[in-house]
Amino acid sequence: MSLSYMFVFFFVGVFFGSIWHKIGKHLPNNEKILKKERCSHCGYQFPWYEKIPLLSYFACSGRCSMCNARLDSLKMINEVFTGLLFTFSYAIFGFSYELFIALGIVSLLMIVVVSDLTYFIIPDEVLISFNLYFILLIFFNEGLKAMFLHIGGGIFLFVVMYLIMLFGNSIFQRESLGGGDIKMMFTFGLILGPIVGLFSIFISSIIALPISLFFMYTKKESIIPFGPFLLLSLALLYFIQLDSITLLQII
């Protein structure tokens, strides 16, 4: 493992983190992804040197150089964590097929964190694009037969999540799961398979529970986006390479 490559992956991740933030921020509003960036307070249009990922934020101390209002910290956080997770992916998998799957999972997570936290939306275009990316990787690495088996796992998990939603709706008499969460389970089945994919729902619920209770208590939030927690569980289970045989032995 090369330290220089780790630095490269970090800065590549920071660069893509900026792009993923733009997609998560603008796509749900049907806005141009490459629209001119302006201060949300005074409308000041940032010049190119104030839009350099990560560096510009710290150079300006996280404030608009015109009106001194605080800039969107979520963009900076997204860039940092994308850089760290890209580096971590390389550290775990090296240059391999698994690395490209991991980078796809991280990228999807970063987009969904922005879109789901901001608008409670997971754009269909994002899910379709990443599912095609994963399917093509599986096809070129494992072949046509394996690709269809993975797709079958995705369909199975999608149906299961849809049935869970119907059950939840009947119990709570309101929408219990977002449509994006249900569609995203196809991705889980595609990557993890049906058994580990089902287990990921349990893991995401454990991750989400204390955080949800904290926000409900401190900020009186009644709706908590579940998409980021689902993808956190997907990333966790993929990084530890948990397979269905090992999971069944543990259970």
Residues 107, 169 within the same domain = no
The total number of structural domains that make up the chain: 2
Please tell me whether residues 139 and 251 are part of one structural domain: yes
Tell me what pLDDT residue 44 has: 67
Cα–Cα distance, 212 to 218 (Å, whole number)? 10
Residues 6+ apart with CB under 8 A from 224: 208, 211, 212, 215, 216
Q: Which residues, listed in sequence order, are joined to residue 17 by a DSSP beta bridge?
A: none
In the predicted structure, residue 220 carries a pLDDT above the cut 60: no
Per-residue pLDDT, averaged over 96-114, amounts to 96
pLDDT at 225: 82
Domain shared by 107 and 136, yes or no = no
Is the pLDDT confidence value at 219 over 90?
A: no
Q: What is the pLDDT of residue 249?
A: 65
Report d(CA 16, CA 9) in Å as an integer. 10
Whether 233 shows a pLDDT value over 80: the answer reads: yes
Contact 143, 163 (CB under 8 A): no
Share of the chain above pLDDT 90, in %: 49
Final residue before a domain boundary, out of 120, 144, 177: 120
* 158 and 244 assigned to the same domain: yes
Highest mean pLDDT among 190-194, 200-204, 210-214, 216-220: 190-194
Q: Which has the closest alpha carbon to 178: 228, 235, 106?
A: 228
Q: What gap in Å lies between CA 144 and CA 38, rounded to an integer?
A: 47
Among 120, 149, 165, where does a domain finish? Answer: 120
Q: Are 102 and 13 in contact (CB under 8 A)?
A: no
pLDDT band for position 2 (cuts 50, 70, 90) = confident
The pLDDT tens digits of the residues spanning 152-192 come to: 999 999 998 888 888 877 887 777 677 888 899 999 999 99
- Contact present, 104 and 130 (Cβ < 8 Å): yes
Average pLDDT of the residues of the chain: 86
Extract the tokens encoding 249: 């032995």
Residues 137 and 177 reside in one and the same domain? yes
For 4-52, the pLDDT digits (tens) are: 899 999 999 999 999 999 999 989 888 877 666 776 667 667 776 667 7
Sign of CA dihedral 77, 82, 87, 89: positive
Residue scoring higher pLDDT (229 or 224): 229
pLDDT for residue 139? 96
pLDDT at position 157, please? Answer: 92
- Distance of alpha carbon 211 from alpha carbon 224, whole angstroms: 9
Q: Which amino acid is at 174?
A: R
Token output for 181: 């969460």
Domain extent, residue 227, equals: 122-251
Average pLDDT for 122-151: 95
The model's pTM: 0.89
User: What residue type is assigned to position 187 of the chain?
Assistant: T
Phi (first) and psi of residue 27, to 5 degrees: -60, -45
- 3-state DSSP of 66-124: CCCCECCHHHHHHHHHHHHHHHHHHHHHCCCHHHHHHHHHHHHHHHHHHHHHHHCCCCH
Q: What mean pLDDT do residues 115-122 have?
A: 90
Same domain, 103 and 199: no
- Shared-domain flag, residues 171 and 246: yes
Same domain, 54 and 169: no
Q: Which of 120, 154, 186 is the last residue of a domain?
A: 120
